[in-house]
Amino acid sequence: MTTSGARPLWQGRALAVLGILLCAFSLRSAVASLSPVIHEISADFPLSSAVLGLIGTLPPVCFAVFGLITPLLERRLGIERLTVIALCAMTAGLILRGLVGESVGLVLATAVIFAGVGMGNILMPPLVKKYFLDRIGLMMTLYTTAMACSTFVPPLVAVPVADAVGWRFSLAMWAVFAAAGVIPWLIMLMRGRDASTGSATQGGTGSAAQAEWVPEPVEGPDFAATGPIATSPSSRRLFARLARIPLVWALALTFGTSSIMAYVAFAWLPVIMVEVAHVSASTAGLLLSLFAFVGLPSSLLIPVLVVRFHATRPLFLVGAIGGMIGILGLLLAPLPGLLWLWTVLFGLVGLLFPLALVLISIRSRTPESAVLLSSFVQSVGYVLAAIFPVLVGVLHDATGGWTIPLLVVGAMLVASIPAGMIAGRRRTVEDEWERKHGAW
């Protein structure tokens, strides 16, 4: 589709904009709002190192598991209904997390949250593709910006809110955004049901397959503007094909590298700053916020740069090389005056996250294949992300220092560069399959 067919973002689809942005914000606020108030929680009931370690590994594990399950659920329920379920799970888990009175309850509530987040991670790129095929660049910019904001805002406000009104409110207040995100999707589902009921009442030949309302295309053959859009069922056969396509593995490694850097940083960067550079804990916390903040400008720019200017490879190199320089700086010159520079450079790995999300949307032809690709890529990526924070801790304990762990993290960035170059090919996964195996 050409850009001449593009319509204003809000025209006829304001509810979809709100639904996607509120869901995107909830995907990261749930992750970032807990660790700042761990000490306050520990004052009310004991949290062992094992429990904290389990909570730390829950996000990537849940993301990987539900990344595989989500396409099966989407096939039965439809993408909009499953989005409502995911947001309801996040809302319930966030509220419960603020009410628990012991560590087991905290773990279970956190698992419920990340089950919803795991589904939401998979559903967001296909939703953008379905509702905003003519505005993918702009909508992905808004979507990834909302996620970036929800990464660095909770750590900044969680402790002041906990000090003012308690840690329970500080944790539960983020449920407001997830609950608000349910409303637009429910309205669209009800409108779709009303439309299909009206068609049947007027003597249409509606069948069970036509129960969902499919709006008329606007300015193009594949663009449906508003309301729930019926998609073909997810196919296990197509999902299995993805594992045979090098482009898919390149995208998975790109996403996995982004996830590894994020979870390693949130788990260990403050400790590294304290032990290597001998800064205070408060300064280390500010540096962690700076690391997260670096991702905000990239979330604004990358979707447009990739969609309009096809700048995938240069952007990947900036992120990977910048991250490597930041790691080397921490190893070779951990001076207090230079830590801000090394943190910003290491934070450039944040470019890889919005880059991977945009590529999931544009490296597939249809919403169905986007769901499958999103599931495969994110599941593989989060498996890697679940391994590396633990691996870094084990290497630190084994060597008694941070040199080897940081070198391993840097080596992961080096190893990901070929994958970034492959991901930069301007082909879809369907193109790659058809080039070697025939019709998709």
pLDDT score at 281: 64
Residue 274 vs residue 431, higher pLDDT: 431
Helix, strand, or coil here: 224? strand
Q: pLDDT-derived band of residue 408, with 50, 70 and 90 as boundaries?
A: very high
Same domain, 339 and 249: yes
On the question of pLDDT at 93 being above 90, the answer is yes
- Statement to judge: residues 242 and 213 lie in one domain: no
Q: Which residues contact 176 (CB under 8 A, 6 or more apart)?
A: none
Same domain, yes or no, for 51 and 168?
Answer: yes
pLDDT band at 253 (very low <50, low <70, confident <90, very high): very high
What is the rounded CA–CA span in Å between residue 220 and residue 206?
A: 25
pLDDT at res. 8:
63
Instruction: Give the pLDDT mean for 158-164.
Output: 84
Residue 249 CA to residue 238 CA, distance in Å, equals: 15
Q: Which two tokens stand for residue 369?
A: 């294949």
The DSSP result for 355-408, as a single string, is HHHHHHHHT-SSHHHHHHHHHHHHHHHHHHHHHHHHHHHHHHHHHSSSHHHHHH
10 and 58 in one domain? yes
Asked whether 249 and 376 are in contact (CB, 8 A), the reply is: no
Query: Of 145 and 220, which is predicted with more confidence?
Result: 145
Residue 44 and residue 164 in one domain: yes
Q: 122-136, 203-217, 267-281, 348-362: which has the highest mean pLDDT? A: 348-362
Domain count within the chain = 2
pLDDT above 70 for 211: no
Q: Are 213 and 193 in contact (CB under 8 A)?
A: yes
Give the per-residue pLDDT at 12. Answer: 66
pLDDT tens digits, residue range 33-88?
887 777 788 888 887 766 776 777 788 888 888 877 888 888 888 889 999 999 99
Percent of the chain with pLDDT over 70: 86
Angle among Cα 174, 92, 76 to the nearest 5 degrees reads 120
Do 326 and 346 meet the contact criterion of CB atoms below 8 Å apart?
A: yes
> Of 143 and 227, which is predicted with more confidence?
143
Q: Domain check: are 255 and 184 in the same one?
A: no
Asked if residue 180 and residue 32 are part of one domain, the reply reads: yes
Do 196 and 279 have their domain in common? no
At 109, the amino acid letter reads A
Identify whether residues 169 and 132 lie together within a single domain.
yes
DSSP-H helix ranges across 225-294: 236-242, 246-277, 281-293
Rounded-to-integer distance, Cα 376 and Cα 363, Å: 13
Q: Which of 203, 231, 259 is the last residue of a domain?
A: 231
Residues spanned by the domain of 76:
1-231
For residue 202, pLDDT over 80 is answered with no
Q: State pTM to two decimals.
A: 0.70
Averaged pLDDT for residues 183-212: 59
- Clarify whether residues 206 and 108 are in a common domain: yes
**Max Cα separation, the chain?**
77
Asked if 91 and 184 sit in the same domain, the reply is: yes
Three-state SS for 101?
coil
The residue-averaged pLDDT of 377-401 equals 85
- Taking the CB of residue 99, how many other CB atoms lie within 10 A of it? 11
Residue predicted with more confidence, 412 or 274: 412
CA–CA distance, 226 with 224 (Å, rounded to integer): 6
Domain containing 382 — which CATH number? 1.20.1250.20
Residue 319: what pLDDT? 95
Pick from 175, 209, 231: which residue ends a domain?
A: 231
What does the pLDDT read at residue 7? 61
Least confident of 74-78, 193-197, 283-287, 289-293: 193-197
Co-location of 187 and 244 in the same domain: no
pLDDT band, very low/low/confident/very high, at 383 (cuts 50, 70, 90): confident
Tens digits of residue pLDDT in 329-360: 999 999 988 999 999 999 999 999 889 988 98
Residues 168-180: tens digit of each pLDDT: 999 999 999 999 9
| Length of the chain, in residues | 440
Last residue of a domain, one of 210, 231, 252: 231
> Residue 234: which pLDDT band, with cuts at 50, 70 and 90?
very low
For tokens 């003012």, name the residue.
164
State which amino acid sits at residue 434: E
